[in-house]
């Protein structure tokens, strides 16, 4: 018999209402029991989205003090995550936090101290790592289907336009590299299965928000893998996240959103289809959103290591911060454990 983890959510914005709440209410491993938000309207809207009677709090500390809440999901803006995470852990709660857990590597270390003192489960919502496509690609790479991987490329093309009100707002959330790029840089870390040695980023600001809205980032890994990420938020009619992994004996071609995975072997005229099976109506959120929440709940009960644990999340943020620094200085940067935003 499943003993669902009782979860309280901090933050009731659009993503919490349209993705986290519906998913939590659909998972047998979890039960959404409380919400904290300064906005009464947002709290009510989240309750409606979850079709559940939730305890409502106007501040997060009230939710943290709720003895019936076993785990907390932090779904607030990036710049609030670190402090809220430390407070939730100090209250003895298991924690799932949207990325980034902190906007500095020093901040990650501060959260780590609170987490180790609490002895609870900690995971970060880099959901694409948990997606069926990412896991299938990793499986095919590790089983030698393409030989030795050498090149990884990803194109993240969206037609968002001015997706935030100002550059100052985006800066508070870590900029494009941390707010968006972290998800794809984490995929590079997963598929390269290695430590990044150097990163270079370039791009520009077409829409005038004061931050880059088109980017090209290249990551060199210690073992020889080279990875490139292209991002644009003004790509007309686009909504794709296309991936290629090129090895010495073959090439993997994938599309994260549609779920397509094809393997091209050297000497073959047509590819083999390795697309994971997707049945029924797509779950809310991004590919991997449901799987990551499910994994978190199971780890709370089993004591296992989450798919996106502390070290995975820290490495992804450190790489994103290094890319941001490279963009700012115009030169390659060696990722450092001491990376932090200016």
Domain spans, the chain:
5-126+289-308, 129-277+316-329
DSSP H or E stretch at residue 56: strand 55-57
Q: What's the mean pLDDT in 185-208?
A: 95
pLDDT above 70 coverage of the chain, percent: 95
How many CB atoms are closer than 10 A to CB 280?
5
pLDDT value at residue 336: 75
CATH class of 129-277+316-329: alpha beta
More confident residue, 339 or 112: 112
How many CB atoms are closer than 10 A to CB 40?
11
What is the layout of strands, in order, in the sheet containing 55-57? 55-57, 30-36, 5-10, 71-74, 94-98, 122-125
How many CB atoms are closer than 10 A to CB 298?
18
Helices (H), 157-246: 167-172, 175-176, 182-192
Q: Are 333 and 101 in contact (CB under 8 A)?
A: no
Q: Which CATH number fits domain 5-126+289-308: 3.40.50.970, 3.40.50.150, 3.40.250.10, 3.40.50.720?
A: 3.40.50.720
pLDDT value at residue 104: 93
206-231 confidence digits (pLDDT tens): 888 778 889 999 999 999 999 999 99
**Mean of the per-residue pLDDT values for the chain?**
93
Reported as half-sphere exposure (CB side, CA atoms, 13 A), residue 188 has a value of 33
Sorting pLDDT into bands at 50, 70 and 90, what band is 275?
very high
Q: Are strands 55-57 and 94-98 parallel, antiparallel or unpaired?
A: unpaired
CA distance 212 to 227: 20
Question: In the predicted model, is pLDDT for residue 167 greater than 80?
Answer: no
Q: How far is CA 257 from CA 11, 157, 209, 280, in A?
A: 26, 11, 27, 15
3-49 confidence digits (pLDDT tens): 999 999 999 999 999 999 999 999 999 999 999 999 999 999 999 98
pLDDT value at residue 240: 83
Q: Are 103 and 82 in contact (CB under 8 A)?
A: yes
Residues in the chain: 342
Q: List, in sequence order, every residue forming a beta bridge with 228; answer none if it has no partner.
A: 153, 218
Helices (H), the chain: 14-15, 21-26, 40-50, 60-64, 78-90, 105-118, 132-142, 167-172, 175-176, 182-192, 289-302, 310-329
Q: Are strands 71-74 and 5-10 parallel, antiparallel or unpaired?
A: parallel
Q: Are 297 and 291 in contact (CB under 8 A)?
A: no
pLDDT value at residue 210: 78
Q: Nearest-CA neighbor of 99 among 322, 289, 290?
A: 289
């Amino acid at each position: 018999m499943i003993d669902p983890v009782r979860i309280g959510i901090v933050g009731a914005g659009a993503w919490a209402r349209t993705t986290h709440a519906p998913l939590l209410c659909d998972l047998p491993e979890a039960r959404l029991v409380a919400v904290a938000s300064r906005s009464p309207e947002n709290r009510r809207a989240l309750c409606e989205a979850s079709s559940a009677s939730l305890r409502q709090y106007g501040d997060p500390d009230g939710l943290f003090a709720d003895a019936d809440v076993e785990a907390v999901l932090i779904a607030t803006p990036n710049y609030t995550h670190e402090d809220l995470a430390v407070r939730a852990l100090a209250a003895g709660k298991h924690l799932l936090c949207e990325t980034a857990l902190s906007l500095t590597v020093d901040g990650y270390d501060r959260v780590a101290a609170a987490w180790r003192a609490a002895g609870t489960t900690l995971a970060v919502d880099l959901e694409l790592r948990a997606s069926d496509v990412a896991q299938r690609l990793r499986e095919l790479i590790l089983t030698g289907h393409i030989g030795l991987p050498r090149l990884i490329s990803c194109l993240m093309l969206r037609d968002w336009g001015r997706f935030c009100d100002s550059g100052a707002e985006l800066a508070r959330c870590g900029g494009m590299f941390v707010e968006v790029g972290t998800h794809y840089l984490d995929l590079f870390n997963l598929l390269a299965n290695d430590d990044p040695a150097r990163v270079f980023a370039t791009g520009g600001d077409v829409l005038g928000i004061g931050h880059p809205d088109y980017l090209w980032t290249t990551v060199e890994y210690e073992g020889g893998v080279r990875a490139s990420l292209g991002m644009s938020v003004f790509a007309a009619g686009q909504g794709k996240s296309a991936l290629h992994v090129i090895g010495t004996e073959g090439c993997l071609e994938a599309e994260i959103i549609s779920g397509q995975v094809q393997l091209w072997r050297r000497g073959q005229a047509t590819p083999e289809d390795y697309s994971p099976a997707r049945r029924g109506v797509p779950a809310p959120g991004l590919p991997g959103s449901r799987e990551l929440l499910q994994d978190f709940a199971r780890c709370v009960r089993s004591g296992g290591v989450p798919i996106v644990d502390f070290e995975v999340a820290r490495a992804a943020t450190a790489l994103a911060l290094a890319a941001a620094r490279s963009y700012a200085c115009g030169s390659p940067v060696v990722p450092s454990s001491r990376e932090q935003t200016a």
